[in-house]
Amino acid sequence: MTSTDDIRLELTGITKIYPSVIANEDVNLKVRRGEIHAVLGENGAGKSTLMKMIYGVANPDAGEMKWQGELIHVENPAHARSLGIGMVFQHFSLFETLTVVENVALALPGNPDLKDLSIQIAEVSNKYGLPVDPQRLVHALSVGERQRVEIVRCLLQNPKLLIMDEPTSVLTPQAVRKLFGTLRQLAAEGCSILYISHKLDEIQELCHVATVLRNGKVTGECIPSEETPKSMASMMIGKELPVCQHEAPKELGEVRLRLNKLTVESDDPFGTTLRDIDLEINSGEIFGIAGVSGNGQQELLYALSGEEPLKQNELIVICGEAAGQSMPDARRALGMGFVPEERLGRGAVPRMSLAENALLTAHGGGMLKNGMIQFKQMNDFAKNCIEKFNVKCGGENAPANSLSGGNLQKFIMGREILQTPKLLVAAQPTWGVDVGAAAFIRQELIDLRNEGAAVLVISEELEELFEISDRIAVIAEGRLSPAKKLADTNIDEIGVWMSGMWPGAGIADVEEAQANA
């Protein structure tokens, strides 16, 4: 029997109430020394709020917290870190204009030497299979690379309790395996881990115990190894997990997106140059692109969105029109919808309301008349999106940054899908979204394809790509592999291709190396 001395963290009756929602109500939770403890729940169930109270970002309105047997009030994150509590946030807490090493230094006590710290970062990142360059500016990093920085920063603090909020949402399967090895090692050394993830197969494999939250309340506990992903999903959402209906595509229509030898030199010395990317996506199909984070996905998305117009117009053709030099609004006018991988800042303006954020990309659907905003149409569109995509929020006037990550993702995806674009480009479409909502979003993408849209999905979740794609390719070191039909490949083959090892790959690299020798 476990003694009370083994209990590292104990929450009793924790309650947090916001003006529009009860985030947590009478939550009890015990985390033992060396335990990997999962917290399960739908988007908006109160998981992230609970973690923020433990870390000192928010204060509970009622209840008490014990740390290693003693009553305590965590005043702020610095206080939490001094106790030995570290947290990896779902929404990254990094300064974009600083380097990796400067960001890490801010979380450490005293005034660490940046040169020595850079060496420590390199050692820790290599040891745990989370490669990151200490000298890179954060704004130049992809979402997956930023995730690595957050994790490495926490590991450098030698925490007694490590809180991880969706830590694998943008990691590759290989990186996930290495991270799990790290977490098991930390737990064996006595570190306690609070683990939030919507990937129930990960919970089943990794975690010793799980607490289930629904609508801010604890509704049960389980031992994940004795459950199945399906049974845990039922505990979370209170019903059977929906399954996507993905039939073979009907006859394909016109080419909606064509890339013609797309080559884009990266201005960032640490960035990835795109080289000779050829791609055609037709009406009525979903094309998936897999890849390890930092292999050109971000550069490809910038090129497709129009945020960085190209020098040659014919490199990108959208719905039959050359658009390489077009700005984002001109590309949308051609029929393209776009979902960036960074939802706060690029997908939505944090302090603007959901209705105002709807206006930013969906104004072409009757929200403007003679240059004047039609507020009823704007609000009705946002309400429809909130209702159809089950976005838990304080209504259409709620600011974007008041939503949980998963609910904001649902709103952004819904905003683009409801415009019925001819071409939809979506990056990480279900990042941080719970299992039920992820299945719903994936089905909406399939339905959009069935209605004749061309859909490009760039994702680091292979299971997702294999669930919804009709054809799949891999991006590695800025080059795109040949495309394969789903029936002609498998996850293992695509996993190998993600290292850049597809038939015919590497020839150009060898020739370039010989020329430079």
pLDDT, tens digit (0-9, with 9 covering 90-100), for 114-166: 999 999 999 988 877 778 899 999 988 877 788 888 888 888 888 999 999 87
State how far the alpha carbon of 89 is from the alpha carbons of 6, 48, 147, 158, in Å. 26, 9, 9, 17
Tokens 């009890």, located at residue: 28
Phi (first) and psi of residue 273, to 5 degrees: -85, 130
Q: What is the pLDDT of residue 461?
A: 82
State the first-to-last Cα distance of the chain, in angstroms, to the nearest integer: 66
Calpha distance 399→397 (Å, rounded): 6
Give the count of beta carbons closer than 10 Å to the beta carbon of residue 266.
16
**Domain covering 255-349+403-516, topology:** Rossmann fold (3.40.50)
Helix (H/G/I), strand (E/B), else coil: 400:
helix
102, 175 contact by CB (below 8 A): no
- In this structure, the strands spanning 368-369 and 372-373 are antiparallel
Tokens 């919804």, located at residue: 468
Give the count of beta carbons closer than 10 Å to the beta carbon of residue 135.
13
122: burial class by Cβ within 10 Å (0-12, 13-18, 19+)?
A: middle
The two domains 4-237 and 255-349+403-516 share their CATH topology (first three levels equal): yes
Calpha distance 171→147 (Å, rounded): 8
511: burial class by Cβ within 10 Å (0-12, 13-18, 19+)?
A: exposed
Q: What is the pLDDT of residue 171?
A: 67
Q: What is the pLDDT of residue 509?
A: 46
C-alpha count within 13 angstroms, C-beta hemisphere, residue 262: 30
Q: At what angle do helices 173-188 and 143-155 cross, to 10 degrees?
A: 10
Calpha distance 478→263 (Å, rounded): 9
CATH superfamily of 4-237: P-loop containing nucleotide triphosphate hydrolases (3.40.50.300)
Mean pLDDT by runs of 10 across the 517 residues of the chain is 73 90 92 95 86 93 94 93 87 85 88 93 83 89 81 88 82 75 89 90 93 91 90 80 76 94 86 94 97 88 92 96 95 96 89 96 91 95 95 92 87 96 95 82 94 94 91 95 94 88 66 37
State how far the alpha carbon of 275 is from the alpha carbons of 31, 97, 349, 371, 498, in Å. 49, 28, 32, 41, 16
7 sits in which H/E element: strand 7-18
User: pTM of the prediction?
Assistant: 0.71
Helix (H/G/I), strand (E/B), else coil: 425:
strand
Among the residues of 2-94, which ranges form H helices?
Answer: 47-55, 77-83
Among the residues of 58-156, which ranges form H helices?
Answer: 77-83, 100-106, 114-127, 143-155
Phi (first) and psi of residue 516, to 5 degrees: -85, -10
State how far the alpha carbon of 484 is from the alpha carbons of 21, 288, 427, 495, in Å. 46, 10, 20, 13
Calpha distance 211→209 (Å, rounded): 7
Those residues whose C-beta lies under 8 Å from the C-beta of residue 64, and which sit 6 or more positions away, are 11, 12, 13, 14, 71
Q: What is the pLDDT of residue 3?
A: 52
Q: So where are the chain's domains? A: 4-237, 255-349+403-516
Q: What is the pLDDT of residue 506?
A: 63
Q: What is the pLDDT of residue 421?
A: 96
